Amino acid sequence: MVYFEKDSVYQSAREWVLAAGEIIRSTIDDPREVDTKKNANDLVTEMDRKVEAYFAEKIRTTYPDHLILSEEGFGDQVDDLKGTVWIIDPIDGTMNFVHQKRTFAISLAIFHQGIGEIGFIYDVMADIIYEVKKGEGAYKNGQKLAPLTDKKNLSESILMLNHLWCTPNDQVNHLKLGELVRTVRGARSYGSAALEFAYLSEGIVDAYISFHLQPWDYAAGVILYEEVGGQIVQATGEPLTYLKQEPTVAGHPNIVNQIIEDYIELK
């Protein structure tokens, strides 16, 4: 049995998230080395790697039994969520980081024996930390986030999605998503899945869909959003596994099933 002292793990994680944010913020105007990964628009910088390496070093030194599931290659091979697993995206929204120098976040979640116990989403440039300890409330810069309102209709909802899903693609019927965009009150795309989960948790937007999210994009966001009553499932309606890329629908519980049943046709 892996020893898990929730409060002290929480305090260490919080300290490291804030310190990593300071490293990024204090060098935000430095020249950047930008590489590409799967395609010309899939960006990565030396800072993505530096921040992930920072967390990996801290975690391995302090908690040698814990495992790391992360984006940039400093983590472990993680095949299940036994023991304690840190799920980390060092910079979520790298395109925003490179082009706009804002609206990106550090996303860090800690699972213990399969349960999401701790989550942080840190909007580095705005210095806004969203944090949650499962069962103890979700907070934005120390202010407790209110539970979601009782009722929500699709026609009065704001939906977040990447516009490309409304163009022909391999994953989903884009015409149906076009219908969804015409049905809701408005659509937004912020370019950081983690921050999009944070905005859902604040209740300022009502649904988010994406068809290729990785665990590090959504893990902290799910813990935060579930704490205020939000719902997150795969686009098939099945629960998320937190272990692989998954099509994801998140939103107010009144509208998630309707979105899946009426507007999502996976290929």
Tell me which residues touch Ca ion (CB under 5 A). Answer: 71, 89, 91-92, 217
Does the annotation flag 91 for ligand binding?
Answer: yes
- For ligand IPD, the nearest residue by Cβ is 193
Helix, strand, or coil (residue 266): strand
* Residue 227 near residue 62 (C-beta atoms within 8 A): no
Which backbone phi and psi does 263 adopt, to 5 degrees? Answer: -130, -10
How far apart, in Å, are the Cα atoms of 236 and each of 12, 240, 252, 256, 266?
Answer: 36, 10, 17, 11, 8
Does the annotation flag 42 for ligand binding?
Answer: no
Rank residues 87 and 213 by Cβ distance to ligand IPD and give the closer one.
213
Question: Measured from the CB of residue 5, what is the shortest distance to ligand IPD in angstroms?
Answer: 30
* Residue 40 near residue 46 (C-beta atoms within 8 A): no
Question: Measured from the CB of residue 79, what is the shortest distance to ligand IPD in angstroms?
Answer: 22
Does the annotation flag 89 for ligand binding?
Answer: yes
Q: Which of the choices Ca ion, ligand IPD, none does residue 192 contact, using the CB cut-off of 5 to 8 A by kind?
A: ligand IPD
Which backbone phi and psi does 194 adopt, to 5 degrees? Answer: -60, -45
State the residues that interact with ligand IPD by CB under 6 A: 89, 92-94, 162, 191-193, 210, 212-213, 217
Does the annotation flag 88 for ligand binding?
Answer: no
Rank residues 196 and 202 by Cβ distance to Ca ion and give the closer one.
196
Helices 46-62 and 6-26 cross at an angle (nearest 10°) of 150
- Binding-site residues for Mg(2+) sit at 71, 89, 91-92, 217
List residues forming the annotated binding site: 71, 89, 91-92, 217
